[in-house]
Amino acid sequence: MGESNNIKAISTSKKVENNKEEVYQSFAEYVKAKRKMLADKSCEEVMSTRELATSLGISYEMFRKVLNLNKPTKHRDCIIAICLVVGMNAEETNIALNKYPNMYMLNEADDRDKLFIEMLEKNSRDVQPYRRVTIEEINTELYNNGFTNLDIIHHRKAVASKEKSKKKINIDNFFTDTTISTDILFGDQYGSLATQYSRDRLCCKSHMVIKDVKKRKVHRLSVVNNFNSLTGLEFHKEDQLCCYNSLQETGVFKIFFVELSRLVKTETNRLLSILNDTKNYIERISAKIKNDSLCVFAETFNYEVPEYSEYYFYESIGSNVSLLVYEKSEFMHRYMSDQDYKNTYLKYDNKVLKCYSSFEALEKEIETTKIEQKMLLQIRLHSFRHLRELSESLKDDLANRKEFIRRLDYIYDDCDRVCEFFKVEKEFECEFDGENMIATVDAVEFVLPDGDRVNISLQDLYDAFELGFNDIQEVCRVKKKIGSIKGILD
């Protein structure tokens, strides 16, 4: 399976545009075409609709309605299963999902989808003799990797809400009651721009009460994902707490932990998707250190004409200003470090629709453009001016210490802990008074790579921490260049 780690989620809309023949095919026609390709590949007769229904465990009449959209299924697993059985790859599966109503494409950020992508690519390779994959083989692969079986069709009533959902299932002799909940810290406890949109404010939990009907025992299982660590698996049995590092360690309770883990992953991805889109916040603004300068950036969405799906991103670094129109929300990509964003969302595929180097450039375009385009350009100009006002106001608040990129007294009880943050505890000869860190040196002279020397005081470290500096090298370079840490606010 490691061979397919480089498979990416395909942007179906772009792929379809490049294949006019596939554009005009319905979902049923597309599946039929792929069945013919599978027959050529496997040197067998074309799989009939009845055979395909049987392989999926669905009645022929029901499957015909699902296939022809007379009674569309809500089960995405059903569509993925069809694609696997008829030998599609990940790219073709995304096209199929796009043709079916209310189905979203494969997403590498979702671990279960990532496994599907690997299975689809492995399934579609030209291996001779070609053998059709079965639902049983797919379910075995899912189970071995800690995921639930394919949810192709069932008649249970599902109850769901954004924050809480419950369901009851019977498995063998166990009766279970499952709950998933979301904990969100309201407001920012650190009063800092750097933590205002942190994913660590979100926490997903799923709990299950298991009643062993025969033995008359009650067990409590829980799975927690707080983004700071791997998913926690806890098992409470007769007032004892057991913690597991993996699903494989959970023994006979694995099937229950698999379900809880799936619920947590689904809820986690939902929350991360909301966090990654400024449309859910109306507008957002923040600041950070970039290229040894203060970078203030802000974003909003074109709510006046949402059909254009335009996000307006404003960035100010020193005297340089950028006005960018994006296809998707850009804010979190700039807000997080590149590595954190990659670890969270796995990929970055945003597109710049338009770039302006100044407000004057945009105003000039408004003067020379056609009348039918003027309204959109004026909306852009109005939005960018508004974002500039927000940015200038934030700069003033940072200078007057009304806002902080990192608020020192909120984050650390002992302010000298900044020495540990910048990894200069030895240089400032830090000691501990109980749990508090105390620097016994007020200033240290650092030698730069070019041989120059710069004096960094403890107050410089306080200021650098609050202004968002990330390492001592940044602190030294800025102090040498402009004479003071607060000089980046000028």
Three-state SS string across the chain, please? CHHHCCCCCCCHHHHHHCCHHHHCCCHHHHHHHHHHHHHHHHCCCCCCHHHHHHHHCCCHHHHHHHHCCCCCCCCHHHHHHHHHHCCCCHHHHHHHHHHCCCCCCCCCCCHHHHHHHHHHHHHHCCCCCCCCCCHHHHHHHHHHCCCCCCCCCCCCCCCCCCCEEEEEEEECCEEEEEEEEEEECCCCCCCCHHHHCCHHHEEEEEEEEEEECCCCEEEEEEEEECCCCCCEEEEEECCEEEEECCHHHHHHHHHHHHHHHHHHHHHHHHHHHHHCCHHHCCEEEEEEEECCEEEEEEEEECCCCHHHCCEEEEEEECCEEEEEEECCCCHHHHHCCHHHHHHHHCCCCCCEEEEECCHHHHHHHHHHCCHHHHHHHHHHHHHHHHHHHHHHHHHHHHHCCCCCCCCHHHHCCCHHHHHHHCCCCCCCCEEEECCEEEECCCEEEEECCCCCEEEEEHHHHHHHHHCCCCCHHHHHHHHHHHCCHHHHHC
Mean pLDDT within 440-453? 92
> Which pLDDT does position 328 carry in this prediction?
95
> Which pLDDT does position 313 carry in this prediction?
98
Q: Which of 238-242, 301-305, 326-330, 390-394 has the lowest mean pLDDT?
A: 238-242
> Which pLDDT does position 235 carry in this prediction?
56
> Which pLDDT does position 231 carry in this prediction?
44
Q: Which of 224-233, 369-378, 470-479 has the lowest mean pLDDT?
A: 224-233
pLDDT class of 109 with cuts at 50, 70, 90 = confident
pLDDT tens for 260-300 read 777 887 888 888 899 999 999 999 999 999 999 999 999 99
> Which pLDDT does position 440 carry in this prediction?
95
> Which pLDDT does position 229 carry in this prediction?
41
Q: Which of 78-87, 221-230, 249-258, 326-335 has the lowest mean pLDDT?
A: 221-230
> Which pLDDT does position 42 carry in this prediction?
65
| Higher pLDDT pick, 371 / 67 | 67
Mean pLDDT within 161-188? 54
pTM above 0.85, yes or no: no
Say if residue 379's pLDDT is above 70. yes
Say if residue 123's pLDDT is above 90. no
pLDDT tens for 209-222 read 777 666 566 777 77
Q: Which of 190-194, 215-219, 352-356, 455-459 has the lowest mean pLDDT?
A: 215-219
> Which pLDDT does position 37 carry in this prediction?
84
Q: Which of 93-97, 213-217, 425-429, 453-457 has the lowest mean pLDDT?
A: 213-217
Say if residue 22's pLDDT is above 70. no
pLDDT class of 19 with cuts at 50, 70, 90 = very low
Say if residue 102's pLDDT is above 70. yes
For the chain, the average pLDDT equals 82
> Which pLDDT does position 427 carry in this prediction?
94
